[in-house]
Amino acid sequence: MADDLAKRRLRAEILRARRRLTDDERRAAERSLAARALELPEVAAAKVVAAYVSVGSEPGTRALLDALRSRGVRVLLPVLREDDDLDWGEYEGAGSLVEVPLGAGRMTLLEPGGARAGTDAVLSADVVLLPGLAVDRRGMRLGRGGGSYDRVLARLDAAGAAPALVVLLHDAELRDTVPAEPHDRPVTAAATPSHLHRFP
């Protein structure tokens, strides 16, 4: 219960800080994040990357999506199913994205409008970009708490797949510790506008 409260407080703190960023700061961070992520050998060598389209105040992913696609990388984007699991579709450029409202008071997602590849499509990824609010020095990630990516990680584990797990963050979102639960698993690396951080 204490960990749950700590997670809620940390999520609220980070979301407040993200909302204070200006549009210019967000655009600059997005460009820097794309360049930084492409410095990771796993990303630079990837043939398939499972990613996501940033929305709201999330660190921007679109510059990275376009850079990957221009290199011939197959980019898979999540499609949220009714059971909160993730299906996948291929990114074919910004014009191929469709807006999907999640309901009253919730955000609108951008998802690929084309054919669905199935929940197991993520198993083909060399790199999985995970959304997150913070990562600590052990590589433990704090997500938004919806559980969709916990299912993705469990699917990867069950299949014995071991893609690089990468989180894109703002500089202040790398923390000494974040609350973690026994089922949480560390990520491979976090990219911030200023640095790359690799974890054991």
pLDDT in tens, 149-195: 999 999 999 999 999 999 999 999 999 999 988 878 899 999 999 99
- Tell me how far apart the alpha carbons of residues 43 and 106 are, in angstroms, rounded to a whole number: 31
pLDDT in tens, 124-142: 999 999 999 999 999 999 9
2-198 CATH, one of 3.40.50.10420, 3.10.20.520, 3.40.50.300, 3.30.70.2860 = 3.40.50.10420
What pLDDT was estimated at residue 4? 82
DSSP 8-state class, residue 119: G
What pLDDT was estimated at residue 40? 97
What pLDDT was estimated at residue 107? 75
pLDDT > 60? residue 94: yes
- pLDDT, averaged across the chain: 93
Domain limits of the chain?
2-198
pTM over 0.85: yes
pLDDT > 60? residue 77: yes
Tokens linked to 169 = 């963050």
pLDDT in tens, 21-32: 999 999 999 999
pLDDT > 90? residue 146: no
pLDDT > 70? residue 1: no
pLDDT > 90? residue 88: yes
The type of residue at 21 is: L
pLDDT > 80? residue 99: yes
